[in-house]
Structure 1
Amino acid sequence: MIGALQKINTNDHIGGVMECTIMKTVARTANIRRWLCRPDCPEAVRQLKILFDKCFIPANATSEDHELRPMKGSRCAYAKLDGVNFSPSSTHAGIATIIYRASPGARPIGGQIQQIKNVGLNGTMVQIHVRPYELLSKSLYDPFLQYPHLLAKAYSSTLGETEDVIGLENIVAHAARFDYSHNRTVLVNLSRD
């Protein structure tokens, strides 16, 4: 413990709040452990400890104490591909708008990630659920068609009702989104290529 405390960078502040916080944390942890070992500890608290131990492997656990395995739920807050993070709109709306292919070889279209799920053995694969932006009606003009090098395309501002389920490899790039007149949205492909 002394060695760990000596390695903490204190910025030359001695006798400050940090030391007090460390000591309070150590004392509170010891008190909780002692309380859980007492016979008069409520059964509800004991059950919460069992659930907590199933979710988080203690730092001092050995392989005999717990079967060390990744604990993954079915939903993810983020997925990473080639160093780029993608997330559902409920987690981070700024990185949920993408350009993707609904199937391999299909034309890239714009959409918004609704959820990311772990699938396969031990959650080793990822499924991305995407709602595509609806195409513009024939009566509305896409002013970005005349600038193909800009990589911008206008869509309707509303999302389609159905979801496409794709893999990470079907994502082309993130997209910047801007809503403008007549229920139109422009998506700009932010591909690094």
Structure 2
Amino acid sequence: MIGALQKINTNDHIGGLMEATIVQTVVHTANICHWLCRPECVWQLKSLVDKCFPPVNATGQEDELWPMRGPQCSYAWWDGGNFSPSSMHVGNSTIIYRPSPSEKPIGGQIQLIQNVQTKCGQMVKIHVRPYLPLPKALYDPFLQYPHFLATTYLSMLREAVDVIDLEDIVAHAACFDYSHNRTMLDNLSRD
């Protein structure tokens, strides 16, 4: 640090604003680093974020819904998981879901979380673009491992959007892009 300070061009001015600014910045950075190293820091930050940005389906202390802030939300809680649109957090947007109750689960990416007003109250709708299935001519190396819940898709998303309920989400998925425009999705279900 001293070497970096010595290399700063001061034009032979000593004790000026620049030195005070450098010292204040170092002190502020040290204080923030010290605070971030404390174990309770994460929980304090989480409580501040939750107060400022409650999830779309969060319940209050009296089991009443929080007032909705608009037609779109940045995230929603479901079955112990935090789901977000891809514009907010790509990792929380990659999911395994059922397009309809009779279909088998497929991989997709959340594009939008929407509040919908119904006669019964507020409802959450999830807009998902599914990954394109791997053509039968291409080899899926994970088919031979049925207990490893991974599936290969093409790396492109379908243009059409599926609109689903939170109950249709099976689990988060880990996404790994690998050779020849293919993507592997691993089901991160806790079951």
TM-score w.r.t. the length of structure 2 is 0.63
Whose helix fraction is larger, Structure 1's or Structure 2's?
1
Deviation at 1:146, TM superposition (A): 0.3
Q: Which amino acid aligns with 1:125?
A: M
CA-atom RMSD in angstroms = 1.8
Q: 2:84 matched to 1:84? A: no
Equivalent position SS for 1:70: coil
- What 5-or-longer segments of structure 2 have no aligned partner? 1-27, 29-65
Between the aligned partners of 1:72 and 1:126, the Cα distance in structure 2 is: 13
Deviation at 1:140, TM superposition (A): 1.1
Whose strand fraction is larger, Structure 1's or Structure 2's?
2
On the 8 A contact 1:72/1:118 being kept in 2, the answer is no
Equivalent position SS for 1:124: strand
1:125 match: 123
> Aligned residue pairs: how many?
126
Residue in structure 1 matching 2:160, options 159, 162, 171: 162
TM-score w.r.t. the length of structure 1 is 0.62
Equivalent position SS for 2:157: coil
Deviation at 1:72, TM superposition (A): 2.4
Equivalent position SS for 2:156: coil
Deviation at 1:123, TM superposition (A): 6.2
Question: How many percent identity over aligned positions?
Answer: 67
Deviation at 1:166, TM superposition (A): 0.1
Residue in structure 2 matching 1:152, options 133, 146, 150: 150
